[in-house]
Structure 1
Amino acid sequence: MRTHTASSAVASDRSAPEPGRLPMAALLALATAVFITSLTETLPAGLLPAMSEDLGVGEAATGQTITVYAVGTALTAIPLTAATAGWRRKRLLLAAMSGFAVANTVTAVSVSYPLTMAARFLAGVAAGLAWALLAGYARRLAPAHLQGRAIAIAMAGIPVALSLGVPAGTFLGKAVSWQAAFWLMTALTLALLGWIAATVPDHLGRRPAARAPMLRALRVPGVTPVLFVTLVFVLAHTLLYAYVATFLDHVGMAGSTDLVLLVFGGASLAGVWITGAHIHRRLRGLTLGSALLVAGAAALLAVPADSPALVCLAVALWGLGWGGVPTLLQTAAGDAAGDSADAAQAMLVTLWNAAMAGGGVAGGLLLDRFGAVSFPWSLLALLVPVLLVVGTARTHGFPARRPTTAG
């Protein structure tokens, strides 16, 4: 038994990060995994009419393919993370991405609505496992002082998927067929599996020291504030993002949705870059700045003005503030949780997806009762407690100085 443990430790040491260097090939593979995870979730949004026709259901029913994905993620992230805590990380990552290959293939060939929904639920399960794994994996690939930058590189797949992937998938669906878009996702995933196998170092799993790792993580100072900020910040963002086309119609820009999303995506990429460059020393300041930028964008959008330039400016501020948020929150959770980082990441993923689902529902209720004008005001109201919690959690959660040996 001791021999096995010693050999495992040696294997883990061989994959230790080199001081002062980032393993870019491995981190870009993780970024591609994030891209696939994000794009698989949102791809049906641009393909609803054609999917609805072939599956024989209405567009509202087809839209639930996105909801069931989020449900699959929210329901399974915590139990799957706990069950696989002892697995080697590379094996687990390959298993999660294989789930996307299977789910997208089934979606591409399915002519049955129930089968399509089952495949989308499977994709959500794979996403729950992947999201809980990827940030921690990126941390372990980097030396301590570059861990935030490593997570930023991996999380760059999110704005790329939203700003480029969704429009490209929509174009392919219109030019060829919606099935072709999902076949392309399968092909990309298969290529990624080879990339991961060739370039991503392996790491040992971390079996929880307690029988209830999630409860143990919640007792660690700083974890609860980070999880609260995650829930409320994502809820606020989703309220507007899920109905951005409806809001743009309200301000007379119904034909500019693609342009606005491109501005948002480009600004988000800038936010990711700024976060990666400064997160090691300024996590707290960047988190406060992100919330203030999004709040400023909401304030501009709340001003009744018939000005496309003002709307684009607001969206640019929104994207700039939001782009680094996934990196900031996952880094804060990992820093605060320490040895319970995997459990904290699983809870963060669950709350993130619950907030996305809740944002869609709450946005619909606001739209029916108060109209699209209520979205920016609601976003502003929700950001007040976010700023208060980040501002007061200065000792644990969002400290002025990050630990020198995070993760």
Structure 2
Amino acid sequence: MATDSAVVPDGADRPAVFASSSGSLRDWLAVIAVGMGVFAFTTTEMAPIGLLPAMSRDLGVSEGTVGLSVTLYGAIAGLFAPVLTVATRRLDRRRLLLLVLCVFIAGNVFTALSSSYTVLLVSRLLTGFAHGVMWSIAASIAIRLVSSDQAVRATAVVFSGISIASVVGVPFGTFIGQSNWRIAFWAIAGIGVLILAAVIFFVPSLEPRAVVRLAELPKLLRDGNLRIATLVTAAVVIGHFAAYTYVAPFLEQDAGIPSGWVSALLLLYGVAGVVGNFAGGAAARALRTATLVCILLLITAVVLLVVNGRWHPGTVALLLVWGIAYAALPVCLQTLVFASAPQAPEAATSLYICAFNVSIALGALAGGWVVDASGPSAVMFLGAGFGVVAALLMTRYRIARPE
């Protein structure tokens, strides 16, 4: 498809990878296929969380040891995303997407067949490598498939895979894996095969663009806006996961929510996230303002959850606000990254993904220290504190005005 330059929301230069032709039904089906890929990767990343007891018993290791497979998966995905994205920079993006999905399918098959914890860990690390590449190329592929005025919506469709995985994928995997945890990973591998077929049928050949060498990645961060977008991502994600990782004990102990209700509330949170994801796609047309508003809403919701005490309607409402605000942010932040580095969107995205995934681990780790020392309410204030840092950083993002 031909491409040209346009103007992004708030006047910043739109990346040249945005397509100029009208998106057909086939193009949007291709975008949905990419979004389903993100859904599948997110599902397999988090699937062990709901299957820890069964996996622990079957493999003869502790639940904490099995949980390490989740932590290492995220770390590998984040740390190797820039390296692998650069290493595959000359591959046709359709071929790279197919390769990534094949690795995903193989990784989940090996996980399902794991005869020991060592085999499980190797299979998870294999899938983690593919995960980092998938996240780096997914949005940049999607925006090349549609018209320039639909690019933000395409980004929202891709990132809706994350929210849908939280609402549908992970609970479904947990449900079908209760009798035998391996069935869940066989099912995820099967979903991968269907997505692979959709990509083969709908996604056209896409030549690589903006080839970047590994040594040039640090140079990208010399751009003030990209540096700010990356730091905002890190602060938001650390703050969110510091608080959200321990939201269940907060709801039970400090908000007085009966334990039987917690899973239902988290499901509602996930549904709100799907809404927030597409709201972020619409609001991202006022890019800087939308990002800042979402961060402020997140801060407000987290702080008021503590102030609200045990008034249950208030707790439910604030959880929904939190879910909407946070789920809108990946769309806004990814669009910020594209606008900040139009000359190298995939390389810039790999830095964004690195910051995102490493910050998940850092947030959970920091939250664990605080919750052990001071309790669940304290960790909510920690999350809000990182949100304040993100908001202050965001005020320094400068929108380039067209001449």
TM-score after normalising by structure 2: 0.91
- Hey, what does 1:257 align to over in structure 2? 262
Matching of residues 3-402 of structure 1 within 5 Å? 18-19=21-22, 23-174=27-178, 176-206=179-209, 208=211, 212-250=215-253, 251-253=255-257, 254-279=259-284, 281-303=285-307, 305-395=309-399
Q: What letter is aligned with 2:319? A: V
Q: What letter is aligned with 1:127? A: H
What's the CA shift for 1:125? 0.6
- Secondary structure in 1 matching 2:384: helix
For the residues of structure 2 that align with 1:358 and 1:154, how far apart are their CA atoms? 25
What's the CA shift for 1:392? 2.3
Q: 1:366, 1:374 within 8 Å by CA — same for their partners in 2?
A: yes
Q: 1:210, 1:216 within 8 Å by CA — same for their partners in 2?
A: no
For the residues of structure 2 that align with 1:387 and 1:231, how far apart are their CA atoms? 12
Unaligned runs of 5+ in 2: 4-17
Structure 1 pair 295/349, CA: closer, same or farther in 2 (3 Å)?
Answer: same
- Secondary structure in 2 matching 1:392: coil
Structure 1 pair 20/193, CA: closer, same or farther in 2 (3 Å)?
Answer: closer
- Give the superposed CA RMSD: 2.0
What's the CA shift for 1:20? 6.1
- Hey, what does 1:4 align to over in structure 2? none
Q: 2:239, 2:382 within 8 Å by CA — same for their partners in 1?
A: yes
For the residues of structure 2 that align with 1:21 and 1:296, how far apart are their CA atoms? 40
For the residues of structure 2 that align with 1:256 and 1:207, how far apart are their CA atoms? 49
Q: 1:54, 1:111 within 8 Å by CA — same for their partners in 2?
A: no
For the residues of structure 1 that align with 2:102 and 2:283, how far apart are their CA atoms? 34
Q: 2:86, 2:213 within 8 Å by CA — same for their partners in 1?
A: no
For the residues of structure 2 that align with 1:305 and 1:53, how far apart are their CA atoms? 38
Q: What letter is aligned with 1:272? A: N
Q: What letter is aligned with 2:362? A: G
For the residues of structure 2 that align with 1:255 and 1:177, how far apart are their CA atoms? 24
What's the CA shift for 1:261? 1.4
Q: 2:288, 2:397 within 8 Å by CA — same for their partners in 1?
A: no
What's the CA shift for 1:21? 5.3
1:28-72, CA deviations, whole angstroms, 9 ceiling, x for partnerless residues? 101100101111110111011100000101111111111110121
For the residues of structure 2 that align with 1:180 and 1:27, how far apart are their CA atoms? 28
Q: 1:216, 1:340 within 8 Å by CA — same for their partners in 2?
A: no
Figure out how many residues of one structure are paired with residues of the other and give that number. Answer: 385
Q: What letter is aligned with 2:54? A: A
Unaligned runs of 5+ in 1: 1-7, 10-14
What's the CA shift for 1:304? 5.4
For the residues of structure 1 that align with 2:291 and 2:172, how far apart are their CA atoms? 31
Q: 2:228, 2:396 within 8 Å by CA — same for their partners in 1?
A: no
TM-score after normalising by structure 1: 0.90
Q: 1:239, 1:360 within 8 Å by CA — same for their partners in 2?
A: yes
For the residues of structure 2 that align with 1:75 and 1:20, how far apart are their CA atoms? 34
Counting aligned pairs with the same residue, the percent is 34
Q: What letter is aligned with 2:150? A: L
- Secondary structure in 1 matching 2:121: helix
